Amino acid sequence: MIDVLDVCAAQVGQHEAADGTTRFGKWLDTQPPITHDYADAEWCAASAIYCIAQVPGGLEAIGGLHKSDAYVENWHRRMSALGRVSRTPAPRRIVFYDWRGTGPDDNHVGILQKRVGNTLHVYEGNHNNRYELVERPFDSQVVGFAEWWSFVQDDDTAMVVSLGA
């Protein structure tokens, strides 16, 4: 089985182009139905969705590809409605953040690599306009962790979505 953490590690160093577009947003635009909304949008969620999509059965485990999940608060609400959000950190879970003073809803997301004490090691897109492994405190800005990994079926016949060149 493909481990999402390996997929995430392979993305480290990806960054925005000079025009503000990203490979992750462009990829999301090419997924059915074809859109032109995400290539230059905020891209933390698009990068997380991409990484999950590379795991056979990953999209199914998060309830399918919903392009509106590229808006972090939408994704958090949908995962909550599926009963998948808790305050329990575990590797591979989706981490939802709400930065203080930036609005009433979640506004950043990543995929948890590990927790060491009160420090979270999280793969995040759009961190300094790059995809990076970031250390963050496990504090009140973390609003939840969404479980999806345990719902992935170990099925070698599942199709992997390609990012392309």
Considering the chain, what is the average pLDDT of its residues? 91
Contact 2, 54 (CB under 8 A): yes
Q: Is the pLDDT of residue 46 over 70?
A: yes
Biggest alpha carbon distance in the chain?
Answer: 45
Q: How far apart are CA 94 and CA 85, in angstroms?
A: 9
- CATH architecture designation of domain 4-151: Alpha-Beta Complex (3.90)
The pLDDT confidence band at residue 9, using thresholds 50, 70 and 90, is: very high
DSSP secondary-structure letter at 67?
G
- Show me where the domains of the chain are located: 4-151
The pLDDT confidence band at residue 153, using thresholds 50, 70 and 90, is: confident
Q: How far apart are CA 93 and CA 3, in angstroms?
A: 12
Q: Is the pLDDT of residue 162 over 90?
A: no
Contacts of 164 (CB under 8 A, 6+ apart): 27, 30
Residue that is written with structure tokens 């485990």 in the block: 61
pTM of the complete model beyond 0.85: yes
Tens of pLDDT, residues 61-82:
999 999 999 999 999 999 999 9
* Chain Cα centroid distance, residue 3: 14
The pLDDT confidence band at residue 114, using thresholds 50, 70 and 90, is: very high
Tens of pLDDT, residues 90-104:
999 999 999 876 766
Please give the residue that has the higher pLDDT: either 1 or 128: 128
